[in-house]
Amino acid sequence: MEICKIHENASKCSVNTMECFMVLSTQAQKISIATLCGLFGTLCIFENSLVLYLIFSSPRTRRKPSYLFISSLALADILASIIFVSSFVNFHVFNETDFSKETFLLQLGGVNTSFSASLSSLLMTALDRYISISRPSEYKLLMTRKRAWIALGVLWVTCATVASLPLLGWNCCMLNSTCSELFPFVDDNYLSSWICFVLVLLGCIVYAYAHVLWRAHQHVAYMEKHQVQVAKQNARMRMDVMLAKTLVIVLTVLILCWSPVLVLMIYSIFARLSDHLRKVFAFCSTLCLLNSMVNPIIYALRSKELYSSLRMVFSRFRRQPKASEDSPEAESTHKSSMMET
């Protein structure tokens, strides 16, 4: 049974029309969504917090611009997990509607900001690798810490500005225009513009990675021919090649997780969505959390510096129980030696 006629009711822009967007009709669907959000969100917060700790606890990694961009990605994924899970579960599972239009658009802006910042941080990381592998002799001059911080500042301000446009007035209530079938109060034209913004980011990332992979392939061929003469340069090349492969894996996961959501968003602009498709969209939205959860796992497995830092942290925790167990024996030995003296 159809829950609501979105085009007829959504244009009224009342809080009651938000019930039209609560597409989960059975308890099993709500439990499934809550379980996925809870699992992915908890793991995402833990893993990305660990990545931030590993980066900033080491003076060697926190000074590198490439790890500053990875830190921005981890921070964006943490914020996305917190804001998305809390708002998504309250809305779809607990059917919470006791808030104003401005509060909902503020929450939606927070989700869009964090996810856009996550995608933009991947773009910054791709551009960093692009410069590193295409102009290695000038990399340290071009990519300084100051420029990295400025780029991150522009990135976050741009994402926050774009995401806050519905709250500032670009919504179907203020403009008396057609509302989206997927998001309450959101204008279809804004949704189209946001999709174009995301597609441009993805296109730039794909272009940068394609160039990185092409240069990485050239480096591999060069290493095979001149392995003896340029051993030190080969080590740097191997690091660039490995990091390039890591970022390609991240991009692949990103596209696989975001494609279903983007396809349904685009489809909703040109055609009416059935209740079944809107339920599919709700479940596909949790794939964005899965992407945020997978990113730090890839870094831990592929980045030698982060992996070695992680091993040091684990070895430190292993030593603590042993030290506590050995301390009474050491104390008794010390006492006995004092008595003998």
The domain 23-310 having CATH identifier 1.20.1070.10: the answer here is yes
Pair 2, 173: CB distance under 8 Å? no
Give 269-323 pLDDT, tens digit per residue. 888 888 889 899 989 998 988 888 888 887 666 777 887 888 887 787 777 665 5
Helices (H), the chain: 6-9, 27-56, 59-62, 65-92, 101-134, 139-142, 145-163, 165-168, 172-175, 188-225, 231-270, 275-302, 304-340
Give 246-268 pLDDT, tens digit per residue. 767 877 887 888 899 999 999 99
User: 87, 108, 130: which is closest to 240 by C-alpha?
Assistant: 130
Least confident segment among 90-99, 207-216, 233-242, 256-265 = 233-242
CB proximity list for 83: less than 8 A, separation 6 or greater: 107, 110, 111, 114
Pair 184, 171: CB distance under 8 Å? no
Q: Domain residues of the chain, as ranges?
A: 23-310
Q: What are phi and psi of 211, to 5 degrees?
A: -70, -40
Amino acid at 23: V
Q: At what angle do helices 65-92 and 275-302 cross, to 10 degrees?
A: 150
Give 170-212 pLDDT, tens digit per residue. 998 888 888 888 888 899 999 999 999 999 988 888 888 788 7
Mean per-residue pLDDT over the chain, rounded: 80
Give 100-113 pLDDT, tens digit per residue. 888 889 999 999 99
Give 67-88 pLDDT, tens digit per residue. 999 999 999 999 999 999 998 8
Burial track 253-264 (b if 16+ CB lie within 10 A, e otherwise) = bbeebbebbeeb
User: 66, 53, 52, 49: which is closest to 242 by C-alpha?
Assistant: 66
